[in-house]
Structure 1
């Protein structure tokens, strides 16, 4: 293993991406950070990485502009000198009923949440193969990799697809010493859910066994494990970080008292 490892974390300007970038820096990695619309947030993440004594490189990435956008992974690897870890974290979603979904909405979500990680993973894996000493790829999916949600047809399709893509990547890249795993968060206090930096223990979530949302750092800790040496025999797995949410299917269904669930 090289003396200094380097990671690229997509969508690292806030939320899970930022928490992951900082956690990997704490573990001694230099970190490439991508952003789409929040340059200031990305620079804030870079400052936190540098505060850990590690190098940070920042670049804009628009995953609706494919296939070219995936080249940002290679550009960041060049700036950092190598690439050992890719975290495909950038994502987007919708809250639009299936019958009202426009093709452009569908295409954007599929590009960002599925085609983008596919191509970024290729870019990273090809470099890791050339380096010759293995690597780690972690795809951030969602509990909706495993279970559907009303109003999220393209998001669920993309995340479910990314879950199976993870397994295929794990099979094909194993001979090169590259492990590939998914992390499937539940409701996490991030900008995407309108809760960044909220005190998750002050939130009441009766439908979640742990009775609260998750903190982005709790997801980052699992990603960091999968990106590190101690997970060397783990590949092709999906790790739910959801407070037990996925265990509640029949339980939640049997306790609903109205039709509110039909509304996105």
Structure 2
């Protein structure tokens, strides 16, 4: 059973999209929230204000995961200010170029943000949760590409697949301390990362998906908030896909394609 972990969450990349929706959802469920951002301080402050409007405390820190060791210290800073019971590693980046055209620095930059940064933040959070003796939650936001490949997204897919396995090892190692570790794998979500910021998903706009639209950030946030809450105390080492059934279409779509255009993204 739960050890009564602190209802205080750090959400990385919480100034927009899934991170913003998650910070608000957690605040509505009674969590204080530490918010990190990369470059846009104003949007992070706006999210902090939304958290405070729910009657909860908020703190904001800049967080540049291209330098993951330095960025991970922000987890400690927020924990010192607010406390820490939940870490949601949401911040990430992507790529859109074939592997044969990619230089090593570009490869490493994506891995640093999407995998190295998540590892170091989780490590610092877990140490604090163990020291508290009250357990906690670590939730890593991956993607359907933790399992399914995409042309032009080699380092992103490698990082997200690695993050899934990292999460599973952490789940084994941290269970005795009352800490659960899971991943949430979104499909296409209407956020800035997919060029759809502030745009509601249009029903019927994705005829190749079982649910024929992109997802809404709040739908992913609901899954994250569930795993962060007490009802998820017996769930660890697993992935919750929030993809409208997109992952089911791999074999089906492959058989339906009439050209090889997919080879070029």
Q: Give TM class, smaller chain.
A: over 0.9
* Aligned counterpart, 1:18: 20
Query: CA contact under 8 A between 2:5 and 2:135: conserved in structure 1?
Result: no
5 Å-filtered alignment, 1:129-148, equals 129-148=130-149
Q: Distance in 1 between matches of 2:22 and 2:114?
A: 18
**Contact 1:4–1:28, Cα closer than 8 Å, also in 2:** no
The SS at the match of 2:79 is helix
Instruction: Tell me how far 1:2 sits from its aligned partner.
Output: 5.5
Alignment of 1:207 with 2:187, yes or no, is no
CA displacement 1:132-156 (0-9 Å, x = unmatched): 0100000000000010000000000
Whether 1:165 and 2:147 are equivalent positions in the alignment is no
Equivalence for 2:247: 246
Aligned residues: 263
Partner in structure 2 of residue 100 of structure 1: 101
* Closer, same or farther: CA 4–166 of 1 in aligned 2, 3 Å: closer
Match of 2:48 in 1: 46
Deviations 1:16-72 (A, max 9, x none): 000000000000000000000111111111111111111110000011113121010
SS across alignment from 1:42: helix
Residue 32 in structure 1 maps to residue 34 in structure 2: yes
SS in 2 for 1:83: coil
> 1:189-228 alignment to 2 at 5 Å?
189-202=190-203, 204-228=205-229
Q: In structure 1, list runs of 5 or more residues that go unmatched.
A: none
Corresponding position of 1:57? 59
What's the counterpart of residue 125 of structure 1?
A: 126
| Residues 1:13 and 1:200: Cα distance change in structure 2 (over 3 Å) | same
Distance in 1, matches of 2:223 and 2:194, equals 20
- How far residue 3 of structure 1 moved from its aligned partner, in angstroms, is 9.2
| Residue aligned with 2:159, SS | helix
- How well do the aligned residues superpose, as a CA RMSD in angstroms? 1.2
Aligned partner of 1:257 in structure 2 is: 258
CA–CA separation in structure 1 for the residues paired with 2:152 and 2:37: 26
Q: d(CA) in 1 for partners of 2:38 and 2:141? A: 17
